[in-house]
Amino acid sequence: MTTSTLVLALGTLGATYVLLYALLYFTQDPREPPMVETSIPFVRPLSGLITGMPNFLVKLRNKYGLPIYTLRMPGQRIYVVNSLPLIQSLQRQIKTIAFAPIEAQAAATVMGVGPAGNAIIGSEKMLEDNSYLSTFVPSTHPALSPGPGLDAINGAAVRYISDSLAKLSGGSATTVELFSWVRRELFMATTESIYGPNNPFRNPALENAWYAFEPGIMVHMLKAWPSVLARESLYAREQLLIPAFEKYFANNSHLEGSRLVQCRYEHNTSHGLRGRDVAATEIGQMVASLTNSVASAFWMVYYTFSNPVVLKECRAEVEQLVQVDDDGVRNVDLAKVKFSCPILFSTWQETLRCVHIGIQARVVMQDVIFDNKYLLKKGATVMTASPVQHTDASLWGPTVDSFDHRRFVRGPGGKRTNPAAFRSFGGGTVLCPGRHFVSTEVMSFAALLLFRFDLKPAAEDGRWVEPRKDFPMTSSMPTPKDEVRVKITTRDLHEWRVNFSSSSKGMEITAEDAMKKG
């Protein structure tokens, strides 16, 4: 390259930089939240989010210490809210800063709902009180709120897990790769409890189709040429999963399934969805039911069994639930795990606090002055990130970076954590409606393992080594990057009878649950 060419290239580069810098500042209203990461206009925020969104947002919190800030990217504004009081204010902006447009986009791109269905789900009236999206979560309350519907689905999951684990009981140890094994147990327990005796996923090909579909979720969401970049995922959805659900509903198999799948079907058809579009919506419900719960169950088991103190205390707690008959049969009612095992419950919450990487996003529907101070512009995205709140020492104290399995235990003299600081299940209008189901399912799974089995590393040195974490963009929970091989050995060869009794009480998992209880 000649000197003149080099000078020309540097000059062009410099002029481009000045132009982008000017464009950045002249298009930013001073009333908007302050911009950060402007050293390379538009490019630096984009690269940071692509290379690791949750960690990037935590680093920005630490670097700037702002309650809210703006990230400017090509053609897009993102307002990131860090302050807990501002998050609580954000949750009240149901229609001006809405989640519905993201749900509508997911229906079209991730689930594969067709034009007729998208006209219903993503209509201009999506924010009205009687719209498809506004009424969806309330329609599932009979199945997912504490009561008979929730008890039935939890009971079905517990029965499946209990029966499956019983096959491991015996004199010899079984060696498994822990994540793959937990994934299989939770996958089948969840689908069996939802879809009932005609569960499509009893066909192993359908289970494998789900695992083929899952990695392509973000490609579908971004419409990033899925026919090329997510070919296997697209094939699994279009040729295997949706047709299986079409057949399931055409045969009225949902009438033998859970109240949950019946509620979803009734909601879909009452709003005019038919045939393939009804089947396609189940793809989204599978994402909600499985993608995070499987990984969270793995980390719950890992943190419970890898720490001797946690193992000892949780095991002693759950063993108090066991009643022994005169003939030596062990009886346990796993509905009691929700209220009689505060250390196990705290371990579950602490697992989520330490591992959850969820990002909650909403869309600004019109220019709005947020919190009487900040201008948020129409079309921008507003984000909150649970790792930002979960690693905030002002909320959690000096042990914020440590795993404390008793952190959430409540008792006389104990410091009570602000429940709003726990963000793993979202909040407000994006509060996870299945939080009671998954919490009971995972805690019951852990309790059954604690009752009946020892889990120890299969490595010769017998040491637990925490696996590195993989951060898929399709999940709010990391998956293990390394294999964790363990030996499962039966602790008690007696006969066990496991049941799940009814209860109208719900666990106090989130701030919203605490408010209802109060």
77: burial class by Cβ within 10 Å (0-12, 13-18, 19+)? Answer: buried
Q: Tell me the mean pLDDT in the region 195-220.
A: 95
Q: Where are the beta strands (DSSP E) in 386-491?
A: 453-457, 469-470, 479-480, 485-490
Domain that holds residue 467: 140-358+391-517
Find how far residue 287's CA is from the centre of its chain: 9
User: Per-residue pLDDT for 12 more than 60?
Assistant: yes
61-70, 338-347, 419-428, 446-455: least confident range: 419-428
Q: Provide the pLDDT for residue 375.
A: 97
CA distance 440 to 505: 12
Q: Provide the pLDDT for residue 15.
A: 64
Q: Provide the pLDDT for residue 513.
A: 82
- Find the radius of gyration of the CA atoms of the chain: 25
Q: Provide the pLDDT for residue 342.
A: 95
Q: Which two tokens stand for residue 338?
A: 């929700």
Q: Look over the chain and give the mean of its residue pLDDT values, rounded to a whole number.
A: 91
pLDDT in tens, 474-484: 788 999 999 99
Q: Provide the pLDDT for residue 25.
A: 82
User: Per-residue pLDDT for 399 more than 60?
Assistant: yes
Decide if 121 is inside a domain: no
Decide if 408 is inside a domain: yes
User: Per-residue pLDDT for 14 more than 70?
Assistant: no
Q: Which of residues 241 and 46 earns the better pLDDT score?
A: 241
pLDDT in tens, 405-451: 999 998 664 556 778 899 999 888 788 999 999 999 999 999 999 99
| β-bridge mates for residue 488, sequence order | 174, 455
pLDDT in tens, 159-179: 999 999 988 877 688 999 999
460: Cβ–Cβ under 8 A, 6 or more apart, which residues?
A: none
Predicted model pTM: 0.93
Q: Provide the pLDDT for residue 17.
A: 60
CA distance 269 to 113: 14
- Greatest CA separation found in the chain? 96
490: burial class by Cβ within 10 Å (0-12, 13-18, 19+)? Answer: middle
Decide if 363 is inside a domain: no
Please count the helices (runs of H) and the strands (runs of E) in the chain: 23, 15
DSSP state of 407: T
Decide if 176 is inside a domain: yes
Q: Provide the pLDDT for residue 6.
A: 62
Q: Tell me the mean pLDDT in the region 305-334.
A: 94
Decide if 2 is inside a domain: no
Q: Tell me the mean pLDDT in the region 319-323.
A: 93
What is the signed CA dihedral for 102, 105, 106, 108, rounded to 10 degrees?
Answer: 160
CA distance 249 to 460: 50
Q: Tell me the mean pLDDT in the region 52-56.
A: 85
Is residue 453 helix, strand or coil? strand
CA distance 53 to 59: 10
Q: Provide the pLDDT for residue 518.
A: 53
User: Per-residue pLDDT for 465 more than 60?
Assistant: yes
Q: Which two tokens stand for residue 102?
A: 């993201």
> Percent of the chain beyond pLDDT 70?
94
Decide if 380 is inside a domain: no
Decide if 18 is inside a domain: no
Q: Provide the pLDDT for residue 10.
A: 61
381-385 and 479-480 strand pairing: unpaired
User: Per-residue pLDDT for 196 more than 90?
Assistant: yes
Kindly indicate the confidence band of residue 353, based on its pLDDT and cuts at 50, 70 and 90: very high
Q: Positive or negative CA dihedral for 162, 294, 437, 420?
A: positive
22: Cβ–Cβ under 8 A, 6 or more apart, which residues?
A: none
Decide if 262 is inside a domain: yes
Q: Provide the pLDDT for residue 317.
A: 96
User: Per-residue pLDDT for 248 more than 60?
Assistant: yes
User: Per-residue pLDDT for 140 more than 60?
Assistant: yes
Q: Provide the pLDDT for residue 2.
A: 66
At position 373, the amino acid (one-letter code) is K
C-alpha to C-alpha distances, 152 to 90, 118, 261, 425, nearest whole angstrom = 35, 32, 12, 22
Q: Tell me the mean pLDDT in the region 204-233.
A: 93
**Phi/psi-derived region of residue 363, left when phi > 0, alpha when psi is between -120 and 50, beta in every other case:** beta
- The structural domain count of the chain equals 1
- Assign residue 429 the CATH number of its domain: 1.10.630.10
At position 176, the amino acid (one-letter code) is V
Kindly indicate the confidence band of residue 5, based on its pLDDT and cuts at 50, 70 and 90: low
